[in-house]
Each structure stands twice: as C-alpha cells, then as structure tokens.
Structure 1
Amino acid sequence: MHFKDLLRWNMRMSAVYAVGMWTMIGSYAYFRYTGRYEDRPVEPVEMLVNPNEVVFETAYTKTTIVYKEDFVPYGTRIYNFISSFSGGPETGDK
C-alpha cells in the first residue's frame, strides 16, 4: 500500500466516525428537545404474593420470580452435561 492510499482510508474512516458521532449527538438532542426522552426515575415496587414468589412492577413491565426448592438452573444443567463428555478424573474412566 502506498502512503496516499493510507491517507485516503484515514480520511474515509474519519468521515464515517464523524457522521456517526453527529448522528448520535443529534438524535439525543432531538429526543431531549421534543420530550420523548425524559429522565424519570423508575423504582420497582416489590410485592410478596407468597413466600416463594416475588413480583417486581415498573411502569411498563411486571416480572414474577418463582423460587423452587432443589431447582438446578439450566446453565448448570448444560454445563454438567457437556463436562460429562470430557472424561475428567471424577468420572471414573480409569
């Protein structure tokens, strides 16, 4: 590559970066000016329905978490399944 080619690529990438930054700044200013983006604090309200269930409500969502006794998370189940193929010392492959 010649030095002129590097200068062209530098100018092109600088222009792409500048357009992206001004788009982001302009979008933020537009939403702030029109009032569509407001900094209102959203505090979740916690309600206890039963001892094993927790409900979080915000202005837009309602999340219910149910705790089960002796429940193994899916990530741990998948990890244990995949690690069973590795033949580690705890599997008794000797």
Structure 2
Amino acid sequence: MVLNSSNPKTVVAWMAALSVGMGSSSDGLFFVAAVLTCMLVGFLVNGMYSLLFSINGVMNVYQKVAHWVERVVSGIFALAGLGLLRSAFSRNPA
C-alpha cells in the first residue's frame, strides 16, 4: 500500500478512476464502496502480476517486448489524459 501510495502515477490513475465514476450527487457510501472496489482491484491486479511473473520465462519474454508495451501504455495514458482535460474544459461553470 505504501509503495502504491507513494507512486504518483498510481495516485493519479486511481484519482482519475474515482472521478470518472463519481458525480456531484454521489454520497459518502458510494465513495467508500468505490474506494474499496479500487483497493480490491489493486490487490487482484498486483497478485496476478506476481503470479504471472513468477512463471519461468515470462520475464524474458516481457523484456523482449517491453519497449512496445511501454509505448502502447504511454499512448493510452496520453489519450486518457487528453480526455480528462477535454471533459474539464467542456463543463459549464457552476
């Protein structure tokens, strides 16, 4: 938890996930459920990574394709960021 909380990319990604699902009328119970869901997803994904990369040869394959994976993921993050900026500027002022 400390490692994920200290990683700025992780914090921004979870904040974006929560902000997409929450509206101005969301109550505290919805927020707690959303945070608990994000925690569960985080544990499951990290557990999956641990299991996957403990298999012999998986790390070697990943190291061979890492540059392509990083390019695709960075493109996805850039598109998501642009989408968030677009939605922020398209909102009507309250």
TM bucket by the smaller chain?
0.3 to 0.5
Larger radius of gyration: 1
TM-score (norm 1): 0.34
TM-score (norm 2): 0.34
